[in-house]
């Protein structure tokens, strides 16, 4: 059974700004770029993404694009989502539908997201982003801004925000 370090080594993963590890695996280059309010983007991009026992949180962040998440290996991941209207929901991405886990999770652009590995050595997923990912389209969550906007979720926000100065 591969470990977190095995996946990091085999897939050439690097630390990700939101937590965990990643590597871009695809950029659509056969189609014209998509025009967005922040500039042109590839039609689609994808990454491998890994959370580990040593780096178990994908901290709060907001993406402009829609993202599909696909579970490949390891423990399930809990996704905490806060929609623009303040509605919060939780979904579990994993391999066991009998326990309510889903193999694929769609998160629309504009929804705040934090991802947590609650137990186990690792969880390996892939993400497909459309229009394609660009760091200019991602906002890392700041506790003061998120709690001002979503005061009903103060505890949840603070639990999964980057520690101050840890960006």
Q: What does the alpha-carbon distance between residue 87 and residue 162 come to, in Å, rounded to a whole number?
A: 22
Which residue matches tokens 């609650």? 118
**Measured between alpha carbons, how far is residue 157 from residues 115, 137, 138, 161 in Å?**
12, 20, 17, 6
Domain range list for the chain: 4-159
According to DSSP, the β-strands at 45-52 and 104-107 are unpaired
pLDDT at 164: 57
**Which pLDDT tens digits describe the chain residue by residue (167 residues)?**
999 999 999 999 999 999 999 999 999 999 999 999 999 999 999 999 999 999 999 999 999 999 999 999 999 999 999 999 999 999 999 999 999 999 999 999 999 999 999 999 999 999 999 999 999 999 999 999 999 999 999 999 999 997 655 54
Residue 113's nearest CA partner among 19, 27, 22 is 19
**Structure-derived torsion over alpha carbons of residues 144, 145, 148, 152, reported in degrees to the nearest 10:** -90
Note the pTM of the prediction, 2 decimals.
0.94
CB atoms within 10 A of CB 37: 6
Longest dimension (CA), the chain: 45
CATH number of the structural domain 4-159: 2.60.120.10
In 64-167 the beta strands, taken as DSSP E runs, fall at: 66-74, 77-82, 88-93, 104-107, 112-116, 122-130, 138-140
pLDDT at 104: 98
pLDDT at 167: 45
pLDDT at 162: 79
Residue 50's nearest CA partner among 81, 82, 11, 79 is 11
């Amino acid at each position: 059974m591969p470990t977190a370090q095995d996946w990091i080594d085999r897939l050439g993963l690097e630390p990700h700004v939101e937590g965990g590890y990643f590597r871009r695996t695809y950029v659509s280059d056969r189609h014209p770029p998509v025009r967005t309010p922040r500039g042109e983007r590839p039609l689609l991009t994808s990454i491998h993404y890994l959370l580990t026992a040593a780096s178990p949180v994908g901290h709060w962040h907001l993406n402009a694009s829609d993202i599909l998440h696909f579970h490949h290996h390891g423990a399930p991941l809990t996704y905490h989502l806060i929609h623009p209207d303040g509605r919060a929901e939780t979904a579990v991405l994993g391999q066991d539908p009998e326990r309510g886990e889903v193999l694929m999770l769609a998160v629309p652009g504009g929804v705040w997201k934090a991802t947590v590995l609650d137990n186990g050595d690792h969880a390996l997923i892939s993400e497909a982003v459309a229009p394609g990912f660009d760091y200019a389209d991602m906002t890392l969550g700041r506790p003061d801004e998120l709690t001002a906007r979503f005061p009903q979720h103060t505890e949840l926000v603070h639990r999964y925000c980057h520690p101050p100065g840890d960006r």
